[in-house]
Amino acid sequence: MRYLNKIASAFCAAALGLLAMTSCEGGDLYNVNSPDWLSEKIDSINNAKGSGQEEVLEGMMEDVYTIGATDYSTGWWAAFSKYYQIADGQTWNAQFNLSINPDATNTYKNFALIICNDEDRGAADYKEYGAIRFDHQPASNGGNSEWGDHIKRDNVTSTLTFQSDTDKGVDKLGGKVTLTIDRSNPNDFIVKITNGTVTKTYNHKAALENLNADAANTTIRAFLVPEGSYINFLATNIEPIGGFTSALDKAPLSMELSNVPEVVKVGTTLEEAVENVSATVTFEEGVTKVIPAAELMFTAIPDMDQPGEKTLVVIYNKTFKGENANQPIVAYAKFRVVTEIESITVTKAPVQTTYCIYGSEAVTATGGYPFNATGLEVTATYSDGEVGVVNNATLKFSAVPTTAGTHKVTITTENGKSTTVDVTVKEAKVTTVHPTPTVLGAEDNTSGWWSAHTDNILVPAGETYQVNFTNYSSLGANWNNFVIVLRSADNATEYAVVRADNFGWGIGYDGNAALRNSGGQADWGAWLAAMNGAKCTAYITNCGDGTADIQAVMKGTDGVTYYQYYLGICNVNVNDCNFAFTVDSSHYVFE
Is residue 452 domain-shared with residue 408, that is, in the same domain? no
Flag whether 241 is in a domain.
no
- Residue 138 confidence class, pLDDT cut points 50, 70, 90: confident
Is residue 319 domain-shared with residue 414, that is, in the same domain? no
Is residue 533 domain-shared with residue 567, that is, in the same domain? yes
Q: Comparing C-alpha atoms, which of 203, 287, 232 is closest to residue 94? A: 232
pLDDT at 141: 65
pLDDT at 330: 97
Q: What is the mean pLDDT of the chain?
A: 88
Flag whether 243 is in a domain.
no
- Residue 70 confidence class, pLDDT cut points 50, 70, 90: confident
CATH of the domain at 409: 2.60.40.3630
Is residue 260 domain-shared with residue 330, that is, in the same domain? yes
Could you tell me what percent of the chain has a pLDDT over 90? 72
CA atoms of 64 and 70, how far apart (whole Å): 15
φ, ψ of residue 43 in degrees (nearest 5): -65, -45
pLDDT tens, 243-292? 999 888 999 999 999 999 999 999 999 999 999 999 999 999 878 888 99
Q: Concatenated DSSP letters for 61-88?
A: EEEEEEES-TTS---TTS-----EEE-T
Is residue 177 domain-shared with residue 73, that is, in the same domain? yes
pLDDT tens, 94-115? 999 999 999 998 999 999 999 9
The DSSP element (H or E) to which 39 belongs, if any, is helix 37-46
CA atoms of 222 and 323, how far apart (whole Å): 33
Flag whether 372 is in a domain.
yes
Is residue 230 domain-shared with residue 361, that is, in the same domain? no
432 in Cβ contact with 468 (< 8 Å): yes
Is residue 384 domain-shared with residue 445, that is, in the same domain? no
For the cut 70, the answer to whether the pLDDT of residue 3 exceeds it is no
What is the three-class DSSP state of 285? helix
Is residue 316 domain-shared with residue 385, that is, in the same domain? no
- The residues, ordered by sequence, that sit 6+ positions from 8 with a Cβ below 8 Å of its Cβ are none
pLDDT at 241: 95
Flag whether 574 is in a domain.
yes
Last residue of a domain, one of 427, 447, 465: 427
Average pLDDT over residues 39-58: 50
pLDDT tens, 398-427? 999 999 999 999 999 999 999 999 999 999
CA atoms of 380 and 343, how far apart (whole Å): 6
pLDDT at 518: 65
What is the domain range of residue 569?
429-590
pLDDT at 6: 41
588 in Cβ contact with 582 (< 8 Å): no
- Residue 193 confidence class, pLDDT cut points 50, 70, 90: very high
Flag whether 242 is in a domain.
no
Is residue 203 domain-shared with residue 181, that is, in the same domain? yes
pLDDT tens, 143-164? 789 988 899 998 999 999 998 8
The distance in angstroms from the start CA to the end CA of the chain is 60
CA atoms of 215 and 262, how far apart (whole Å): 46
Average pLDDT over residues 460-481: 95
pLDDT at 42: 39
319 in Cβ contact with 250 (< 8 Å): yes
CA atoms of 114 and 337, how far apart (whole Å): 47
pLDDT tens, 4-43? 544 433 344 444 444 343 333 333 333 333 344 444 443 4
pLDDT at 286: 79
Is residue 60 domain-shared with residue 197, that is, in the same domain? yes
pLDDT tens, 335-351? 999 999 999 999 999 99
Flag whether 60 is in a domain.
yes
488 in Cβ contact with 573 (< 8 Å): yes
247 in Cβ contact with 83 (< 8 Å): no
Flag whether 74 is in a domain.
yes
CA atoms of 166 and 76, how far apart (whole Å): 17
Last residue of a domain, one of 291, 320, 338: 338
CATH of the domain at 573: 2.60.120
State the Cα torsion 74-76-80-83 to the nearest 10°.
Answer: 170
Question: In this structure, how many other beta carbons lie within 10 angstroms of the beta carbon of residue 338?
Answer: 22
CA atoms of 379 and 144, how far apart (whole Å): 51
pLDDT at 123: 86
| Count of domains observed in the chain | 4
Give the ranges where 267-332 is alpha helix by DSSP (H). 270-273
Is residue 129 domain-shared with residue 76, that is, in the same domain? yes
According to the per-residue pLDDT averaged within each range, which of 98-107, 163-172, 219-228, 387-396 is highest?
219-228
Is residue 121 domain-shared with residue 225, that is, in the same domain? yes
Last residue of a domain, one of 309, 338, 367: 338
Flag whether 32 is in a domain.
no
What is the three-class DSSP state of 12? helix
CA atoms of 536 and 534, how far apart (whole Å): 6
φ, ψ of residue 232 in degrees (nearest 5): -100, 100
- Residue 124 confidence class, pLDDT cut points 50, 70, 90: confident
